[in-house]
Amino acid sequence: MRTSYKSLFSIAVTVAFLFTAQTAKATDNFGDKVYFALGAGLNLPLHSNINTTSSNETADWDSGESGRAAIGYKFDNNWEDWRAELEGTYRENSNGKDKTGDIKVWSLMGNLMHDFDVHEKWTPYLGAGIGVAWADTDKVFPAGAGANWSDVSNNVAYQGIAGVAYEFAEDVNVTLDYRFFGSPEHNTTRSDAVSIDSEYHSHDFMLGLRWSFNSMTRSSKIKEKKTASAMPAIEKSPVTSVYPESYLVFFNFNSAKLTPEAINILHSAANSVKKTGKVHLELTGHADRSGSKNYNMQLSKKRAEAVMAEMIKHGVSKNKIAVYAKGEENPLIPTQDGVREPQNRRVEITTEK
């Protein structure tokens, strides 16, 4: 029974991996949201209080190694800065008090992470997790006539996470993070049948790699960056004429969240509408061809609705606005199916008297 927790840990991670891999293959847009992560580093455990029926002791664990593997999901729209993870971790430490015995801690955690969009390449993040930990102690703290602490226990675990990711390729990030991990109240038994209550807490520093399931090929990545480099002139300089007057706003991949540039354009458009009096607005949402047709149709509608909400926020009457969704039809830049194209992720705004 000492290895049953390892089997449970392996089965859970394997099932989660197979489920997300198969789902990502079956659904185009889902594949862009799923990611995998690996990490390894150093853990610095705190002193553990060891309570028995007759004494209170302290375990002075040496520093040791730690590792993690995770499957995550990136949310979209208003939640696009959030991620959820299923994570398996491993920690091992020797008994620093008398240099005999060790402890191995396996855990299965559910994490909720928040990314902070502060730089094109660097993304700080914070997170928290809760799950279960299995502590496997082996010949720790000889006490009396050969009595030792060799047992397996499990209990609730929790952790806080702070780190930063650096994107060095499309959807591929190097990560560096700090974690405070804790699992209190492990109930075990010493070899002389004495009951033990213990705890495990540690500071972890991990270097890792995170990548999406459906990362772009290098050639597609270069093509998108070259196209995107021409976008600011279009985004920041709306095409105008006396009447009808039109504007274009663009969106990030798989997102209906307005960028700062788009908000500035919509502010100008709203001011123009209010100055000219009774004007009818048509908002037409579009998407690129990455993802299914049905998903892209819904995404283009969400983009148009996001533009409408911003226009209303700036004082334009909802009665003057009509919303349309074209999905991946009528692209600015024709592409093959499955290709990401920045200039096709847009909402066209047309104003008429």
Identify the domain containing residue 15 by its residue range. 4-212
For 20, the token pair is 């997300």
Same domain, yes or no, for 141 and 228? no
Could you tell me if 76 and 92 lie in one domain?
Answer: yes
Average pLDDT for 224-239: 39
What's 299's domain CATH number?
3.30.1330.60
118, 261: one domain = no
Could you say which DSSP state residue 96 is in? Answer: T
**Location of structure tokens 């015995």:** 101
pTM for the full predicted model: 0.58
**How many angstroms separate the first and last alpha carbons of the chain?**
78
DSSP string, 150-162: EEEEEEEEEEEEE
**In this structure, are 80 and 193 located in the same domain?**
yes
Between vectors from CA 185 to CA 48 and to CA 1, what angle results, nearest 5°? Answer: 100
Residue 320's pLDDT is what? Answer: 84
pLDDT-based confidence at 10, cuts 50/70/90? low
Q: Which of 156, 187, 212 is the last residue of a domain?
A: 212
Buried b (16+ CB within 10 A) or exposed e, 22-54: eebeebbbbbbbbbbbebebebebbebebebee
CATH of the domain at 107: 2.40.160.20
Give the phi and the psi of residue 3 in degrees, each rounded to 5: -100, 5
Instruction: Report residue 248: phi and psi, to 5°.
Output: -125, 135
pLDDT at 78: 65
Same domain, 243 and 163: no
Cis status, amide bond into 45, omega within 30 of 0:
no
Whether residues 176 and 70 fall in one domain:
yes
Is residue 327 located within the same domain as residue 275?
yes
Q: How confident is the model at residue 227 (pLDDT cuts 50, 70, 90)?
A: very low
Check whether residue 175 and residue 288 sit in a common domain. no
Q: Are residues 224 and 75 in the same domain?
A: no
Q: 205 and 228 share a domain?
A: no
Please give the pLDDT value at position 53: 59
> Per-residue pLDDT tens for 83-109?
999 999 999 988 776 657 788 999 999
Short-list 233, 175, 229, CA closest to 207? 175
8-state DSSP, 2: T
The angle subtended at Cα 149 by Cα 100 and Cα 188, nearest 5°, is 150
Q: What is the four-CA torsion angle of 257, 260, 264, 267, rounded to 10 degrees?
A: 40
Position 152 confidence tier, pLDDT thresholds 50, 70, 90: confident
Q: In terms of domains, do 232 and 112 share one?
A: no
% the chain with pLDDT above 90: 33
Chosen domain end from 186, 212, 238: 212
| 183, 212, 241 - which closes a domain | 212
Helix or strand (DSSP H, E) at 33:
helix 28-33
Is the pLDDT at 126 greater than 80? The verdict is yes
Domain total in the chain: 2
Which of these, 237, 253, 236, 251, lies nearest to 283 by C-alpha position? 251
Q: How far apart (Å, rounded) are the C-alpha atoms in residues 147 and 197?
A: 16
Which band of pLDDT confidence, cut at 50, 70 and 90, is reported for residue 42?
Answer: very high
Which is nearest to 259 in space by CA: 212, 227, 296, 307?
Answer: 307
How does 243-261 read in b/e, with b if 16+ C-beta sit within 10 Å?
Answer: eebebbbbbebbbbbbeee
Q: Are both 252 and 202 inside the same structural domain? A: no
